[in-house]
Amino acid sequence: MTELDAEQVLFANEAFCLAFTSKDADAMDVLRAKSAPLVCVHSGWHLLTGREEIVDSWRRILGNPQQPGIDFYDAEIHRHQGMALVTCYEELPGGVCLATNGFIEEDEQLRMVVHHSDACGNPPRR
């Protein structure tokens, strides 16, 4: 990936984070791949791979009025053939999760194909 590609990956990840913090399921859905296989693991949940079940899970999470705000920090890109993974920390009231967001190019746009988040026992200080 070129430096411009790295910037695009970080931009796509920031767009995901913004959609999450603003509880905008429609904006989040625009970022998700339409034809590539998807993987989603929310902390404490089972594996989700169907597009509809992933979209529904995010609508339930973001539509929950008790869903706390989340701060994201320390985003880092990990490059693989045809894919970029972004690891970052998600700070919630009462704990921190470590998340991995995977992006590929689909229809000339970066699209998310992987989201995995789980509790982090020893997060770095901000």
Nearest to 82 by CA among 104, 107, 55, 57: 104
Distance (Å) of CA 48 to CA 6, 37, 39, 121, 125: 27, 11, 6, 24, 31
Number of alpha helices (DSSP H) and beta strands (DSSP E) in the chain: 3, 5
pTM over 0.75: yes
- Residue pLDDT tens, the chain, 126 long: 555 589 999 999 999 999 999 999 999 999 999 999 999 999 999 999 999 999 999 999 999 999 888 999 999 999 988 899 999 999 999 899 999 999 999 988 999 999 999 999 999 987
Sketch out the chain's domains with CATH numbers: 3-119 (3.10.450.50)
Query: In whole angstroms, what is the distance from residue 108 CA to residue 112 CA?
Result: 13
